[in-house]
Amino acid sequence: MKNGKLIIMLRKRIAIDLGTANTLVWVAGQGLIANEPTVVAISADDNKVVAVGEDAKRMLGRTPESLIASRPMREGVIADYQVTEAMLRYFIGKVTGRVQFIKPDVMICVPAGCTQVERRAALDATLAAGAAHAYLIDEPLAAAIGAGIPVSAPSGHMIVDIGGGSSEAAVISLGGVVVHKSVRVAGNKIDEAIQDHLKKKNNLIIGDQSAEEIKIKIGSATKLDKEIKMEISGRDLVFGLPRSIVVTSGGITEAIRATLHQIIGSVKGVLEDTPPELAADIIDKGIVMSGGTSLLRNLDKLLTEETGVPAHVAEDALFCVVRGTGVVMENIELWKRSVITRR
């Protein structure tokens, strides 16, 4: 019995926000220990993992035939099971060391709108990667806890978590998700919209990383008073030669408008389905925004204009989900009814 208790005490508890764009790892008692791109580079000959995270991201779009660099997560869920398992093993190994004497407990967050099959795949991949127990928590709930929202209170709080692959709007009350809507439209789709815009308007083909750079540097959800310009290089669609052009923030705002309205549509859908008592609470407290894409310039302003409900971005929006998952992992007994588990 004493040995069993000692193993439980020594067992590390890890929280992982397995995002489409970035993976964040939190360890109980230590806090955030890793924040790396969700990219894996694999050798085409023997399917061995060559690089994970930052090193693999540098290889995206630049690999020879013998290497394949890819993103194993798509739209917030696992698209490539084996690669995801290899990546999880890498992150778990980063915490526990190469030799694991005691397997850790690992909690992964998943979109609230994902299917039972997708949930099972996440649990199976976590156990196969070396976890003693695997736990799943819904992303909006984790984001709300990480944003410091008192989720256990008998009042309504609205969280909108916009990541790389999916956007989720949810109303939370009494420690659970009351209403939620999930759309598989987020940061990556905004990047695609920028690529499509430049292809149609300027006959220029650019890569994913260039599109992301444009979004971060000059992207805005609403028209800016003072327009920002940026020079970007790519491949000419007609002649196939390298070419540089200057893009403006106004053109990018126009390019991403339709994509942003799909995200806002899910928020409106949740507000329409919210019980009246909770709707009154939300009008008082406003909408809290989390996730990396919520940092897009003026997105909170656009959401406020479109819904009529004040919206604001949470502090450290990028880390809300992993911080919330970490809090739940550290207090697992209190949150048992909010998580799914398997050993």
* pLDDT for the residue 251: 94
Residue 90: its pLDDT value, please? 86
* Tokens coding 108: 């992964």
pLDDT score recorded for residue 1? 43
Pairwise CA distance, residues 160 & 48, whole Å = 38
Best CA proximity match to 148, nearest among 334, 313, 340, 19: 313
Whole-number pLDDT of residue 99: 63
What's the order of all strands across the beta sheet hosting 40-43?
49-52, 40-43, 67-70
**pLDDT at 30 > cutoff 60:** yes
Mention every residue, 6+ apart, whose C-beta is less than 8 A from residue 250. Answer: 223, 224, 227
Q: Which residue has the tokens 């990396």?
A: 292
Q: Where are the beta strands (DSSP E) in 3-66?
A: 13-18, 22-27, 31-37, 40-43, 49-52
For the chain, the domains span 2-39+74-142+321-342, 152-313
Instruction: Tell me which CATH homologous superfamily contains domain 152-313.
Output: ATPase, nucleotide binding domain (3.30.420.40)
CB-based contact 159:172 (threshold 8 Å): yes
Give me the phi and psi of 67, to 5 degrees please: -125, 145
* Strand segments (E) across 141-220: 157-162, 167-173, 176-183, 204-205
Output the pTM of the full model.
Answer: 0.87
- Stated length of the chain: 343
Helix boundaries (H) for 81-207: 81-96, 116-128, 139-146, 187-202
Q: What is the pLDDT of residues 121-177, one digit of tens each?
A: 889 999 998 898 999 999 999 999 999 999 988 999 999 999 988 899 999 998 888
CATH number of 2-39+74-142+321-342: 3.30.420.40
Does this chain's domain 2-39+74-142+321-342 share its CATH topology with 152-313?
Answer: yes
Q: Which helix (DSSP H) or strand (DSSP E) does residue 289 occupy?
A: strand 287-290
Rounded to whole angstroms, the Cα distance separating 59 from 257 reads: 30
- What dihedral do alpha carbons 341, 30, 319, 288 form, nearest 10°? 80
What residue spans of 19-115 are helical by DSSP H?
Answer: 54-57, 81-96
Q: What is the DSSP letter of 169?
A: E
